[in-house]
Structure 1
Amino acid sequence: MECLCEQNVTDELKIEGDMGGDPIWCNKCGCNLDIDETPISEELKEELWDWMARYGEWIEWDQDELLPNGIELEEERNKQGMKLTEKVKKELEGTYKVSFSPSTSARSYVNRE
């Protein structure tokens, strides 16, 4: 897959949630990769998009505050992300090294209080 690495391709992918990006990144240069170019099943792409669409559900965005159960919501989302990462690893076995980067934004809200 094309990225911003010196070779313009990567064999190391990272699954990570974020606002406004695709859930697949180059683990070397940090480039956000187009999920449609990822050689995984359409079903898994949909699962990743659904997971990504729920990013930040532990934050009350209008108030810029963590929800009362925000830590638990983020932890549950990270568990789902790990499961999805295992599915991606299985589909890309032998082609790409795949890792997961859990969200830590809820903890940053706790630490700023």
Structure 2
Amino acid sequence: MAKTSMINREVKRKKLAKRYAKKRTELKKVIANENVGYDEKQAAVVALQKLPRDAAKTRQRNRCAITGRPRGVYAKFGLARHKLREAMMRGEVPGLKKASW
């Protein structure tokens, strides 16, 4: 089980990323636009840098929905490998079964 503070930090990052997503995309469009002047691009870069760091989606870490484990997480299921295996053995994940050969 991950520390509660780490899980709470990830929740905070998700909220921030959601709040600033629209503003970040608008600023990035201005920066990428070739028809915009140099001064406007610089102003957009400065505005983007002034946003909170945790507002970037890349700052988020995939974590297990049950335990909060940061490593060994299958994004498709949102579960760590241990919990995915347990759920699979109980038959809770459709289409998966234990490998045997």
How high is the TM-score relative to the length of structure 1? 0.28
- For the pair shown, which has the larger CA radius of gyration, 1 or 2? 2
* Structure with the largest fraction of helix: 2
By percentage of residues, which structure has more strand?
Answer: 1
Query: RCO greater where, 1 or 2, for CA within 8 Å and sep 6 or more?
Result: 1
